[in-house]
Structure 1
Amino acid sequence: MDVVALIARIAFASIFIGAGFGHLTATAAMAGYAQSKKLPQPTLAVQVSGVYILVASALLVLGVWPDLAAIALVPFLLITAVVFHDFWRLESPEERQLEQIQFSKDLSLAGGALALFALYASDGHPGLTLVDPLFG
């Protein structure tokens, strides 16, 4: 089960690693979108969030406090879902559907992050970590 847990951590974190690099390499485009959502300091917010999700992803993949790394992704995902994928405000059925899918994806990923947190914060957490979980 240890290898399966490692593969799960890598697969789960892959979306955040890609997104984190996107935040840092396409900052201007992402900041424009953040600005359209009325986010204050959009460029800084994009850069900080990129670093945040990259660090959390790296910790999760490496197994350094994997419980903390998993739970750290939850606020990012919930904020992103509500602020950036507010499908309920859109009039266009096509745009509404696309944003609802993204909202659901973020909500599902938040659930996955919570499940990983519970797994690693429990007493019987799987191994193959560099550092034991912080909680539990």
Structure 2
Amino acid sequence: MFISGGINALRQAEGHAEAAKPLLDKTVGKQPESLPDQVPTDPVTLVRIDAAVKLVGGSLLAIGKLPRLSSLMLLGSLVPTTLAAHSFWEEKDSGRRQEQQIQFTKNLGLAGGLLLAAADTEGKPSVGWRARHAVRDASKQVQDTAESVQRTAGKTAGKASKKVGKAGKQAGALTGKAGKVTGKASKSVESVLSR
């Protein structure tokens, strides 16, 4: 539908421009100088741009390339087109009003489908879900690392305490041996002196 609509708009750009002119007059108004120079305000140029968006977006969506982006492109094209071409609330004739209301409602349904296509992640988790889980995983990893550092520090402190205890025992043993040697030397000196 979008591709054929784009082709039709290119073939009949002037006719589509006449339908778009009232909407442009309301939105842009009599002050087109308020827009940057790069933004076209000519209805025929805008119809051609809209047609190109429909052709490109419709083709990309049809072949399954960049479906989210192409859906958003088509949605951006569909809204002004619907407002310009199917403003049923402005129709005086009840038959024409009903016809335009049907077309408006049809385009509203297409807009809903495009919104679904734009939000579809093709079974992959959304960016929000991935971000929440990345934060949770990073937090868990930091917590695990902190616990590992605490365990390692505890083990290292325990080993150091054992080594200090062992060194204390060795120092005590050496002190005891030194005391025995000193005691023997003292007895030897006494026995020499007493002779």
TM-score w.r.t. structure 2 length?
0.51
- The answer on whether the counterparts of 2:23 and 2:84 sit within 8 Å (CA) in structure 1 is no
Match of 1:110 in 2: 111
Paired residue total: 111
Percent of aligned pairs with the same amino acid: 33
State the shift of 1:32 in Å. Answer: 2.5
- The answer on whether the counterparts of 1:80 and 1:106 sit within 8 Å (CA) in structure 2 is no
User: Secondary structure of 1:77's match?
Assistant: helix
Match of 1:65 in 2: 66
List alignment gaps of at least 5 residues for structure 2: 25-40, 131-195
State the shift of 1:53 in Å. Answer: 0.9
State the shift of 1:46 in Å. Answer: 0.9
Quote the Cα distance in structure 2 between the aligned partners of 1:111 and 1:38: 22
User: Secondary structure of 1:95's match?
Assistant: helix
- Higher radius of gyration, 1 or 2: 2
Q: For the structure 1 residues 30 and 81, does the alpha-carbon distance in structure 2 shift closer, same or farther, using more than 3 Å as the test?
A: closer
Match of 1:17 in 2: 3
Match of 1:28 in 2: 14
> RMSD value over aligned CA atoms?
2.2
Q: Any idea what the Cα deviations from partners look like across 1:13-34, whole Å, max 9, x if unmatched?
A: xx00000001111212222222
Q: For the structure 1 residues 61 and 120, does the alpha-carbon distance in structure 2 shift closer, same or farther, using more than 3 Å as the test?
A: farther
State the shift of 1:122 in Å. Answer: 5.1
TM-score w.r.t. structure 1 length?
0.71
- Structure 2 counterpart of 1:62, one-letter code: I
List alignment gaps of at least 5 residues for structure 1: 1-14, 125-135
State the shift of 1:106 in Å. Answer: 1.0
Match of 1:83 in 2: 84
State the shift of 1:57 in Å. Answer: 0.9
- Structure 1 counterpart of 2:117, one-letter code: L
- The answer on whether the counterparts of 1:66 and 1:120 sit within 8 Å (CA) in structure 2 is no
Quote the Cα distance in structure 2 between the aligned partners of 1:79 and 1:100: 15
Q: Hey, which of these two has a bigger chunk of helix by percent?
A: 2
Quote the Cα distance in structure 2 between the aligned partners of 1:78 and 1:122: 28
Moved over 3 A (4+): none
Higher relative contact order (CA 8 A, sep 6+): 1
